[in-house]
Amino acid sequence: TISAIGTGGNINAAFQLAGGRSGAPVSREQIEKVYKELEPLDIKECCARYGLKPDRADVLSLGLDIYVKVMKWANCMEIHVPMVGLCDGIISMLYDKHHCVSQI
């Protein structure tokens, strides 16, 4: 099974709306279901129904359309969502790689 890793606001929001559990991937079908629920709604409906902020509601269905299409193209059945931003992940990785604690 091909898995993906997703990071950022759109996939984090979709992960939560899909009922994702920490440490477990969410399936492409779950992401597609969220997309199909959001796609016909306008921004106000997305905000009211799902508690999204307007700036997220404005772009979420478009972002999920891309995720679903790329996952289908790559024959990817699931996506891991670590719930950290890309910058946070890079900083954490660099810190882990280069952090030295001097011992006295």
Query: What is the reported pLDDT for 62?
Result: 95
Classify residue 104: in a domain, yes or no: no
Q: In what order do the strands lie in the sheet with 76-80?
A: 2-5, 76-80, 26-27
In a domain, 103, yes or no: no
Task: Evaluate whether residue 51 is within a structural domain.
Answer: yes
Domain total in the chain: 1
Which residues constitute the domain of residue 13?
2-98
Determine the average pLDDT of the residues in 4-31.
92
Here the CATH number for the domain that contains residue 81 is 3.30.420.150
Which residues does residue 18 pair with via DSSP β-bridges, in sequence order?
A: none
Query: How far apart, in whole angstroms, are the C-alpha atoms of residue 11 and residue 60?
Result: 8
Query: How do residues 54-79 score in pLDDT, each as one tens digit?
Result: 999 999 999 999 999 999 999 999 99
* 22 within a domain of the structure (yes/no): yes
**Tell me, what's the pLDDT at 63?**
95
82: in domain: yes
